[in-house]
Amino acid sequence: MKKLLITGGAGFIGSNFIRYVYRYHPEIRIIVLDKLTYAGNYKNLAALLGDRVELVVGDISDQPLVDKLVERSEAIVHFAAESHNDNSLSNPWPFIQTNIIGTYTLIQAATKYHKRFHHISTDEVYGDLPLSGSNEKFTPISPYQPSSPYSASKASSDMLVRAWIRSFGLQATISNCSNNYGPYQHIEKFIPRQITNILSGRRPKLYGSGSNIRDWIHVNDHSAAIWDILTKGKIGETYLIGANGEMSNKAVLEMILKLMKQPQNAYDIVKDRPGHDLRYAIDASKIRDELGWQPLYTDFQSGLQETINWYMDHQDWWQMDKNKVEMTYARNNQ
């Protein structure tokens, strides 16, 4: 396998995965297919473009374009998606179009040209877990119970991939990962929003009680897991990716405030997200036991400090979007 087609490679996780492959697997050449929506950023890839990385600006729902690029590739890693829950609550349509129709378009092409396909999905397809009274975690056989238009659209895309594996022999794997953090994450998301609020003189915003729990993983650990699945994973299998990083939103925010030398109570409680999932937690024993993957970024506080430093050092990367993002949140009392 020498040539990868990577969809959504100008976004947060896709661009980090490309940097990972570029650094550790110099034999690989990459074609990126990305629509450069508000979440995609040319700057995320600019330094890599050249002989080894090519960017094609286009839509994953464009069947003739997708066919052409899939035919030129040996394997497809599919990151492209509308990815933000809050946006899916105010306007679900782009989520249906990109996450469902776009995935359908890609798997049709991968089937037609007999190409290896890896589908990037999320733990949110399993819905949520209780906040207390149980140590239960998501496993590959947990029932699908998505809560938001975003997670329902991702669940739909997983189901399409599973059906194409069974009915058409698509050579595919699926991974469902927990919440990623690290550099290049869009400032609409929880951790970068709070960091850039502080850096721009605004107060951080916590939804509701702040007791909701997310299972944080550094984006580089996610990239390594995807590489392992792509190269060693068993066709037809689903792998859950997580690093035992459960923390409440309030605890994460208090850690950010401490690391940025702010008073512990210097934040606002704002309107909660409708249908807000309570807790996510991943049982990653399958990928650990079968593929030998393990996370390296196990110290969340130092990963968070590095992430804060990245946003401090790259103000030109996020500053021009900040007012617009915050105006959208303010219209929603968030």
Residues that bind ligand NAD in the complex, under the rule CB under 6 A: 7-8, 10-14, 33-37, 39-40, 59-61, 79-83, 98, 102, 120, 122, 154, 177, 179-180, 186
Nearer to ligand NAD, 14 or 146 (CB): 14
Q: How far apart are CA 13 and CA 7, in angstroms?
A: 11
Q: Let me know if 124 is a catalytic residue.
A: yes
Looking at 123, 215, 221, 228, which residue is catalytic? 123
Using CB under 6 A as the criterion, what x/- string covers residues 144-183 for binding ligand DAU?
----------------------------------xx----
Residue 15 touches ligand DAU, criterion: CB under 6 A = no
245-274 in b/e burial notation, b at 16+ Cβ within 10 A?
Answer: bbbbbbebbbbbbebbeeeeeebeebeebe
Q: Is the dihedral of CA 182, 299, 127, 172 positive or negative?
A: positive
* Strand positions, DSSP E, the chain: 3-7, 29-34, 53-57, 75-78, 116-122, 172-177, 180-181, 205-207, 213-215, 217-218, 238-241, 246-248, 268-270
Nearer to ligand NAD, 240 or 291 (CB): 240
CB of 219 to ligand NAD, least distance (A): 8
Q: Let me know if 123 is a catalytic residue.
A: yes
Q: Which positions from 115 through 134 interact with ligand DAU, judged by CB under 6 A? A: 122-124
In this structure, the chain runs to a length of 334
Residue 238 touches ligand DAU, criterion: CB under 6 A = no
Q: Let me know if 280 is a catalytic residue.
A: no
Give the max Cα distance, the chain.
Answer: 58
Q: Find which of ligand DAU, ligand NAD, none residue 195 binds, CB within 5 to 8 Å per kind.
A: none
How far CA 83 is from CA of 37, 40, 42, 134, 188, in Å, comes to 11, 11, 18, 28, 10
Q: How far apart are CA 107 and CA 170, in angstroms?
A: 8
Residue 87 touches ligand DAU, criterion: CB under 6 A = no
Q: Find which of ligand NAD, ligand DAU, none residue 249 binds, CB within 5 to 8 Å per kind.
A: ligand DAU
Q: Find which of ligand DAU, ligand NAD, none residue 102 binds, CB within 5 to 8 Å per kind.
A: ligand NAD
Q: Find which of ligand DAU, ligand NAD, none residue 103 binds, CB within 5 to 8 Å per kind.
A: none
* 65's tokens: 């374009």
Residue 98 touches ligand DAU, criterion: CB under 6 A = no
In order, the DSSP letters of 40-105 are --GGGTGGG-SSSEEEEE--TT-HHHHHHHHHT-SEEEE------HHHHHH--HHHIIIIIIIHHH
Using CB under 6 A as the criterion, what x/- string covers residues 185-224 for binding ligand DAU?
----xx--x-----------xxx----x-x----------
Nearer to ligand NAD, 126 or 203 (CB): 126
CA angle 240, 308, 326 (to 5 degrees): 90
Q: How far apart are CA 290 and CA 229, in angstroms?
A: 10
Catalytic residues: 123-124, 150
Give the interface with ligand DAU as residue ranges (CB under 6 A).
83-85, 122-124, 178-179, 189-190, 193, 205-207, 212, 214, 249, 273, 280
